């Protein structure tokens, strides 16, 4: 995780060699600058240039269309795919060679040039992995990344490397300065004869900066991001509590203690976004009637920006909820059981659409919310040493958590569960969450190297039932006593 700060202003100490510039009359002259905007743009351009040089060493498959019009990979006689370079030219240069060959890289700090290698590599292999995952899940793989364009955000990365460059200094409660330093080449000293130069980035922050490994400057968005390792969950005490989580019908998440958590309602924002989108469609229609490009319309751009702003706001609200809830869950429990949404989404998709379209959409949204919470719980749990077990949710909503009786008819309605055998009646989501916790504890006891409750399987429930084996002896004493009825309806803070 990383810390985002706002770039307030930049100052340059010294004069920086920006390379050779071609003038209007065709003559080539060296140029220096101490204008912050010009210097930052030069850094971003240089970073992109070097990134693209590294990217040019990657290759792509040669494809062609077969008789049915599908794109297929061309293979050589040995059935190996034919590879082509990604761009028109391959620039396989070291940083030193690149500096010598391109004058605008000559004064670039080495911690900026070096960062391109890692950034390019991560970008490339993350995309390759994403494609493999997509294919494995039956989705379209998506394209591999290409070169960075001038139209993309102007940005660069500078390594910190334990204090070698991009040094941060705090100078107020909410402000600090990052200093990036470098030097001009010896044959292109600044006009006043100096070699060294510095750029001071004044940033506005909302929390103290933790130790970081690099900074990312996005000039277009005016932000500086400190890249650092995730903060371990602080203030956690071993509670011995275990909890199961289920996605709810009415609430976003239900837990096995009978608590429900609701994601903030952002329907108002959604409707505002839809309004902007309707206006966009209208101005598009008007522009087309007048035979103009709708993208040039000020009104269209204003609505587009408005919709994007609201969508970002909505995403922030959801993200805030997911972070707060996952934090609280990891902080208060030593064991978390959660349904494996990857398994359930597969089975759910097979259902029809039509009349159930709205509830399907709702379910998708809740799935998305729980997926996000699950992924946050996952990484926070691994930091805090909390056991997280994912279980197959099959039948967890139909099985009675008391007597293990599993029939479809137990589910009286979407929200109410009423057991046909033992007549337990209560909230269906709570029942499912308890089942998930029990399945998770059982699975954990089976897979962990030294099951803490080995041999105590005897006190199982009714004949042939699974579950209820030893949930009370798992990683600690789980939810106090028997809690059959949902106790509290807690809406997460
Ligand atoms: Zn029952």
CA of 417 to the centre of ligand 1 (A): 10
Instruction: Categorize the per-residue pLDDT at 45 as very low, low, confident or very high, splitting at 50, 70 and 90.
Output: very high
Instruction: Categorize the per-residue pLDDT at 456 as very low, low, confident or very high, splitting at 50, 70 and 90.
Output: very low
CA of 474 to the centre of ligand 1 (A): 23
Average pLDDT of every residue of the chain: 83
Instruction: Categorize the per-residue pLDDT at 449 as very low, low, confident or very high, splitting at 50, 70 and 90.
Output: low
CA of 433 to the centre of ligand 1 (A): 15
CB atoms inside a 10 Å sphere around CB 313: 14
Lowest mean pLDDT segment, chosen from 85-89, 357-361, 377-381 = 357-361
The pLDDT, as a whole number, for residue 467 is 37
The pLDDT, as a whole number, for residue 139 is 85
The pLDDT, as a whole number, for residue 451 is 44
- Which of residues 356 and 385 earns the better pLDDT score? 385
CA of 423 to the centre of ligand 1 (A): 6
CA of 418 to the centre of ligand 1 (A): 8
The pLDDT, as a whole number, for residue 236 is 76
Domain boundary assignment for the chain? 2-56+91-227, 242-265+322-473
CA of 393 to the centre of ligand 1 (A): 18
The pLDDT, as a whole number, for residue 201 is 96
Give per-residue pLDDT as tens, 254-313: 899 988 998 888 889 999 999 999 999 999 999 999 998 888 889 999 999 999 999 999
Catalytic residue among 429, 442, 468, 470: 429
β-strand partners of 418: 425
Instruction: Categorize the per-residue pLDDT at 347 as very low, low, confident or very high, splitting at 50, 70 and 90.
Output: very low
Active site residue 246: yes
Catalytic residue among 246, 438, 442, 468: 246
The answer on pLDDT for 463 being more than 60 is no
The pLDDT, as a whole number, for residue 343 is 56
> Which architecture, in CATH terms, is 242-265+322-473?
2-Layer Sandwich (3.30)
Average pLDDT of the residues in 25-40: 92
Highest mean pLDDT of the ranges 202-216, 229-243, 479-493: 202-216
The pLDDT, as a whole number, for residue 269 is 93
The answer on pLDDT for 153 being more than 60 is yes
Give per-residue pLDDT as tens, 8-25: 999 999 999 999 988 888
Q: Which residues are placed with Cβ below 5 angstroms of ligand 1, an ion?
A: 400, 402-403, 405, 419, 421-422, 424
CA of 251 to the centre of ligand 1 (A): 23
Active site residue 25: no
The pLDDT, as a whole number, for residue 382 is 85
CA of 359 to the centre of ligand 1 (A): 28
Instruction: Categorize the per-residue pLDDT at 470 as very low, low, confident or very high, splitting at 50, 70 and 90.
Output: very low
CA of 434 to the centre of ligand 1 (A): 13
The answer on pLDDT for 44 being more than 70 is yes
CA of 152 to the centre of ligand 1 (A): 59
Percent of the chain with pLDDT strictly greater than 70: 85
Note the pTM of the prediction, 2 decimals: 0.62
Give per-residue pLDDT as tens, 64-115: 888 888 888 888 889 888 888 998 889 999 999 999 999 999 999 999 999 9
Instruction: Categorize the per-residue pLDDT at 396 as very low, low, confident or very high, splitting at 50, 70 and 90.
Output: confident
Radius of gyration of the chain from Cα atoms?
29
Catalytic residue among 255, 334, 339, 470: 339
CA of 338 to the centre of ligand 1 (A): 22
The helix-helix angle for 267-289 and 298-332 (nearest 10°) equals 160
């Amino acid at each position: 995780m990383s810390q985002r700060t706002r770039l307030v202003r930049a100052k340059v100490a010294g004069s920086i060699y920006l390379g050779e510039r071609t003038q209007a009359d065709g003559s080539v002259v060296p140029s220096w600058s101490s204008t912050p905007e010009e210097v930052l743009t030069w850094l971003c351009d240089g970073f992109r240039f070097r990134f693209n040089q590294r990217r040019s060493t990657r290759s792509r498959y040669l494809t062609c269309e077969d008789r049915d019009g599908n794109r297929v990979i061309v293979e050589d006689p040995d059935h190996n795919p034919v590879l082509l370079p990604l761009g028109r030219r391959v620039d396989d240069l070291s940083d030193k060679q690149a500096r010598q060959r391109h004058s605008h890289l000559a004064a670039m700090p080495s911690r900026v040039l070096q960062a391109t290698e890692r950034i390019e590599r991560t970008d490339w292999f993350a995309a390759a992995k994403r494609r493999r995952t997509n294919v494995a899940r039956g989705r379209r793989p998506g394209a591999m990344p290409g070169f960075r364009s001038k139209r993309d955000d102007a940005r660069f990365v500078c390594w910190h490397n334990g204090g070698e460059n991009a040094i941060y200094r705090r100078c107020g409660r909410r402000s600090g300065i990052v200093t990036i330093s470098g030097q001009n080449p010896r044959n292109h000293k600044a006009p006043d004869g100096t070699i060294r130069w510095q750029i001071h980035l004044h940033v506005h922050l909302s929390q103290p900066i933790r130790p970081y490994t690099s900074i990312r400057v996005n000039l277009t968005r005016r932000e500086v991001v400190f890249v650092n390792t995730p903060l371990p969950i602080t203030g956690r005490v071993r509670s011995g509590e275990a909890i199961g989580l289920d996605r709810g019908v009415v609430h976003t998440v239900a837990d096995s203690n009978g608590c429900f958590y609701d994601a903030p309602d952002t329907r108002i924002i959604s409707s505002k976004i839809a309004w902007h989108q309707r206006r966009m469609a209208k101005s598009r229609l008007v522009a087309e009637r007048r035979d103009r490009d709708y993208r040039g319309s000020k009104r269209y751009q204003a609505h587009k920006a408005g919709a994007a702003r609201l969508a970002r706001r909505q995403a922030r609200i959801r993200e805030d909820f997911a972070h707060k809830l996952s934090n609280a869950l990891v902080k208060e429990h030593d064991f978390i059981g959660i349904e494996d949404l990857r398994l359930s989404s597969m089975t759910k998709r097979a259902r029809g659409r039509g009349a159930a379209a709205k509830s399907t959409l709702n379910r998708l949204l809740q799935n998305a919310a729980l997926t996000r919470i699950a992924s946050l719980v996952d990484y926070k749990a691994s930091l805090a040493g909390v056991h997280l077990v994912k279980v197959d949710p099959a039948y967890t909503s139909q099985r009675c958590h008391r007597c293990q009786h599993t029939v479809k008819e137990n589910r009286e309605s979407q929200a109410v569960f009423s057991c046909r055998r033992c007549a337990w009646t209560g909230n269906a989501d709570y029942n499912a969450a308890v089942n998930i916790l029990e399945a998770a504890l059982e699975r954990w006891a089976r897979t962990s190297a030294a099951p803490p409750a080995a041999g105590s399987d005897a006190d199982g429930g009714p004949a042939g039932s699974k579950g209820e084996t030893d949930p009370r002896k798992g990683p600690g004493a789980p939810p106090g006593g028997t809690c059959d009825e949902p106790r509290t309806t807690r809406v997460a803070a």
